[in-house]
A = this chain, B = another copy of it.
Amino acid sequence: MVVTQTNHLAGTEALLERGRDLSTPLLRAVVDRLAPPMDTVAAYHFGWIDAQGRPARSDGGKAVRPALALISAEAAGAPPQAGVPGAVAVELVHNFSLLHDDLMDGDEQRRHRDTVWKVHGPAQAILVGDALFALANEVLLELGTADAGRATRRLTVATRKLIDGQAQDMSFEGRERVTVEECLEMEGNKTGALLACACSIGAVLGGADDATADALETYGYHLGLAFQAVDDLLGIWGEPAETGKQTWSDLRQRKKSLPVCAALAAGGPASEKLAAMLAADAKDGDGEHPGAHEDFSEREFATRAALIEEAGGREWTAREARRQYATALAALDGPEGRAMPESVRAQLTELADFVVERRR
């Protein structure tokens, strides 16, 4: 990166904090509408209470999406507050997908805490996920405006893509080979689409035309792909203390993430050795999780990670994150992007820098 990390971090932190501060009151108010025990389960998921129901101040995630939704409103010349229902709706959909994905993937830890299905059981994880999804539509549609209808429609399209992405992700786990293109399509659905929506929903609520919203979606889509490329690196080489996940998290689940797909596509001795090893792994297991690869030692995961790196999968993915970052910023230089206030473009650039530099 050519940016100076220290300067940007201060600005980024302020933007993330503003996103959290402005959107959390409405988020908590709508979650409070849930019938017991769903309100408690949701409050646990968001980190507002602990597993015993005591008030907590846990790490509720980076909250990149709310920050983006508020900047998005400013891109349309509206005050950041105009983006708040959009920020909350996107955050609700994001957390609905986390609740369900953690259960489907058998993930036991998120944000350094036990996942909802581990603490409250699978039924509550399903039901509260459903409820958050419904609340997302509710919080937008109760605005009762035509712009809210447009915003809900964009959110619905993004949610469908997110679900498609999860379906693709799960189907990849049972396959020996996945092309880099297939992986990028899956990640565009699973991560790009909702981040794209976060970047446009505030503008739509603020009265922006479709061309402006589309430019913001393009920025957000590629920012999402940059975010996911970094996530894929952290999923293999991230520090559990920083990521809140197990070591080799994605390898444990046989995820065909970008580093794996790129390594398999690279050819050469390390690539071939990795391919043979993953093919043998696939025959070994039953292709179903949770619990896949529970019997592997740390050393066996380390061997696979080293082969992925040797075949060039790690470096390729790091470069891909930078490529997507550049494509995201290019959308801000198009005709619709140039029409946005300079301060908005600066904020969006700042958050893009943060996304590709993050460690968790």
Q: With A and B bound together, what is the CA distance between A126 and B103 in angstroms?
A: 9
A7-38 vs B: 1/0 string, CB under 8 Å? 00000000000000000000000000111111
Q: Which residues of B sit under 8 angstroms from A157, Cβ to Cβ?
A: 138
A78 on interface, CB distance cutoff 8 Å: no
Interface pair B166/A127, CB less than 8 Å apart: yes
Interface pair A167/B135, CB less than 8 Å apart: no
Q: Which residues of B sit under 8 angstroms from A170, Cβ to Cβ?
A: 123, 127
23 contacts between A and B (CB under 8 A): A34-B167, A35-B164, A36-B171, A100-B130, A121-B288, A127-B166, A127-B167, A127-B170, A129-B130, A130-B133, A130-B163, A131-B163, A131-B164, A133-B133, A134-B159, A134-B160, A135-B160, A137-B152, A138-B157, A138-B160, A141-B156, A144-B153, A149-B152
A278 on interface, CB distance cutoff 8 Å: no
Residue of B nearest to A159 (CB): B134
Per assembly, the copies of the chain total 2
Give the size range of A's interface with the partner. Answer: 35 or more
The answer, among B100, B127, B166, for a CB contact under 8 Å with A104, is B127
Interface pair A123/B146, CB less than 8 Å apart: no
Q: Which residues of B sit under 8 angstroms from A137, Cβ to Cβ?
A: 137, 152, 156
Interface pair B153/A134, CB less than 8 Å apart: no
The interface of chain A, by Cβ under 8 A from chain B, is 33-38, 96, 100, 103-104, 121-123, 126-127, 129-131, 133-135, 137-138, 141-142, 144, 146, 148-149, 152-153, 156-157, 159-160, 163-164, 166-168, 170-171, 288
Interface pair B100/A163, CB less than 8 Å apart: no
Q: With A and B bound together, what is the CA distance between A100 and B36 in angstroms?
A: 18
Interface pair A104/B126, CB less than 8 Å apart: yes
Interface pair A156/B138, CB less than 8 Å apart: yes
Min CB–CB distance A123 → chain B (angstroms): 4
Q: Which residues of B sit under 8 angstroms from A288, Cβ to Cβ?
A: 121
Interface pair A104/B133, CB less than 8 Å apart: no
Min CB–CB distance A21 → chain B (angstroms): 27
Min CB–CB distance A24 → chain B (angstroms): 21
